[in-house]
């Protein structure tokens, strides 16, 4: 199998997959592409309200009790019907994984705090804190050193 990604800001966005036959993987790829459609928001639910949250207003996506939530800039939690790996595929590059159950918008990241035990937390503008795993922290550190 071969994968090719061509980034051309002048060309229209097109996804082409050449396969021998349709499979579960091709169905998943098709669903993901059709679902995204270049949108810059995610549909979120809170109480009885349905809202389209723009990516720039979301500080963090996290899994709580097996359900995915978006946390906005005011610290409000909204239920999202996507799994974290689906969100990771459709979100812009400013969202970084900080542990196996959280993605953070680096534009809303204030600081990393360390405790005496060596644990590191990511602190966001709204005051929300999320644990950073050691594996992810090493990748985040490399990412910021490259910039």
Domain regions of the chain by residue span: 24-106
Q: What is the CATH T-level fold of the domain 24-106, as seen in this structure? A: OB fold (Dihydrolipoamide Acetyltransferase, E2P) (2.40.50)
More confident residue, 41 or 108: 108
Ranking 29-33, 49-53, 68-72, 117-121 by mean pLDDT, the lowest is 29-33
- Please give the structure tokens belonging to residue 83: 């799994």
pTM above 0.85, yes or no: no
How many angstroms separate the CA atoms of 65 and 39, rounded?
27
Neighbours of 136 (CB within 10 A): 19
**In degrees, to the nearest 5, what angle opens at C-alpha 110 toward C-alphas 105 and 114?**
110
Ranking 15-24, 36-45, 135-144 by mean pLDDT, the lowest is 36-45
CA dihedral 64, 84, 134, 112 (to 10 degrees): -70
């Amino acid at each position: 199998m071969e994968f090719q990604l061509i980034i051309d800001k002048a060309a229209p966005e097109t996804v082409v997959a050449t396969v021998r036959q349709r499979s579960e993987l091709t169905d998943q790829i098709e669903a993901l592409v059709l679902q995204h459609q270049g949108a810059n928001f995610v549909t979120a639910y809170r109480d009885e309200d349905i809202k389209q949250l723009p990516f720039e207003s979301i500080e963090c996506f996290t899994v709580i009790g097996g359900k995915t939530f978006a946390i906005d800039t005011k610290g409000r939690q909204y239920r999202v019907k996507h799994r974290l790996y689906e969100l990771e595929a459709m979100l812009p590059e400013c969202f970084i994984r900080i542990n196996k159950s959280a993605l953070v918008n680096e534009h809303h990241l204030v600081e990393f705090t360390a405790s005496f035990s060596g644990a590191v937390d990511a602190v966001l503008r709204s005051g929300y804190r999320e644990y950073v795993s050691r594996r992810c922290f090493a990748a985040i550190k490399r990412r910021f050193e490259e910039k």
